[in-house]
Structure 1
Amino acid sequence: MSSAIRREQIAKYFGRVTEPIPSKRIMDGAGKAILRDEYGRVRHFYTGAARGDYTDDTILTLALAQSIAEVRGINIDDIAKKQLQAYEACRLPSGKVAGGFGGTTRAGFENLRKGISPLKSGVTGGPGNAPAMKMAPVGMYIDATGGYEEGLNYAEQIGRITHLDPRSIASGVVQAHAIYALLNGVSRQEFLDSLAGTCARWEKPATPEFQLAKSGSLTSRISWIRNNKDATTEAAYGRIGSTSVVMESYPFAIFMLQKYWENPLEGLIETVNFGGDCDTTGAIYGALSGAKNGLCFPDEWLKLVPSLELMVEDADMIHGLKHVK
């Protein structure tokens, strides 16, 4: 697994990204797409998307939120159905699927298309970050209903719809916990302590059949953050990385959130400009920041968000489940 775009390439071709930009191919002076430069491969995903258009992170988060809101609870079959529908809605006439969905996610959804139960549709694949990037609505559900252990068990099941790597599964559980914790006003240190403890409790060892099994655990990275919370962003980036491997992108977003605890917008911009799987690190950071700080993003950005009203409506419906349990 590799970065979508390296931080050096962002700096070279865009300078510094400080607001939403459209997807585009990077061209040379002759009008040809640049596929490789001195920093390595120049990867292009989801070209043709406009400013504010969603990628896989937000697409699947919205599908999950819609299911919880409509069902007024969590139903794994309905969640799988709505995620598959959202995925299929991104299919182009060519047969390809827009949105930047990862290979493991695509394989899991293909199993759902074949009629395989969402309890058995997950694949070994790679240690992707899809469970974490879409799990914020489950954290909201936990906060609303008070069903903490139930909610974390659901987060594990939802992650397994596509991913079987134990680090990927754990990331979804930890993200659900993280959203719940931030909604309840934890301190920075309490946040880090609780994430490290939750990850250690839920993460199972990566056995040899899983890709990058010897590349370390998610728990080790989150524990490093807890013990090095005041490290520089450069040191954290060098230690953790920010590619689509979940042991990189998820803890990197966590580090940046706690590093910019009092400056959420600055932290989001910094996170994206570090490159790598930056739609995912940005989405995870944004979800965490929203749980902690509320709707703190500029109005100019919000005006670009498609279906913002529907998003808010689903969130209100999930919040409305409060005290149902």
Structure 2
Amino acid sequence: MPNIGPYTLPNPVILAPMAGVTDRPFRQLCRNLGAGLVVGEMVSADPSLRNTRKSQLRLDHTGEPEPIAVQIVGGDPDMLANAARFNASNGAQIIDINMGCPAKKVCNKAAGSALLKDETLVKDILQAVVEAVDVPVTLKIRTGWSPELRNAPRVAELAQAAGIVSLAVHGRTRACGYKNTVEYDTIRQVKQAVDIPVFANGDITDARKAAEVMNYTGADGVLIGRAAQGRPWIFREVVHYLRTGELLPAPELAEVERILTAHMDALYDFYGDYLGVRIARKHVGWYLQQHDEGSAFRKTFNQLEQQQQQLAAVAEFFRDTVRRKGMAA
């Protein structure tokens, strides 16, 4: 199993950090369903943003199993070093540096994947953060800034030289966003260029794909992001397949309902009534999209303003779905 610094992961399947998604309730759920490691939502290195409600929620890791991994984002070496120190003192046991986010509002501040254009700045940031903390530092990158500038292997070598302990590589450039097909050749080159663990990321949508990508790239593991939205059981499916070569059956509707209801309750507890109800909407949409033809249920559900209304609507949806499938059989 791969190591991240002193931590040996129980399996090589990691929940990728996603802003607005990988909050504490979702991280805990994914760990319970088999993820070998979960990484929190990226937090800005800017200290002026540290006391906002959003940052306080993102920095809350109460009750989570170790190791606690926190991702920081920014473009200034000193600010990122200070952010690393702050998060380590706040309980982070792994610091992950974001050089992979393609969002314009991040890249316009010369952060995220925009940093890949400037290898000198990349080197300065990596050295500053590694020297600032005693905890292991990891790095998330894309294959480059654009298809004409795929410099991930070179950045990987800089990272290893600076003391980065593992790398995650998304198989698209910044210019590609989330469009175009992921290419795994560059991830394979990165793996050949360095000795530290490399995790492949990008369009890993099921257990077979995870195994194929690991076999092709030589990666030590995979990061799963968007494919876990509404399907957090994907982690146990991938882990089981990697261990046994057998595909697990899809969860029964009754189990999906149990998982979703528990997830909704955790969101209400974590965020409170007002925010919890609103954040539950997108998660419910993800869970039910394959059963909700024409998104009719989602449109109605998104009008509901109270916890009990949401829970009752979800229970009714599953009753109707079970009844409909029974009649079709």
Same fold (TM over 0.5): no
Larger Rg: 2
Greater strand content: 2
Which has the higher relative contact order, 1 or 2, with Cα contacts under 8 A spaced 6 or more apart?
1
Q: TM-score, normalised by structure 1?
A: 0.33
Q: TM-score, normalised by structure 2?
A: 0.33
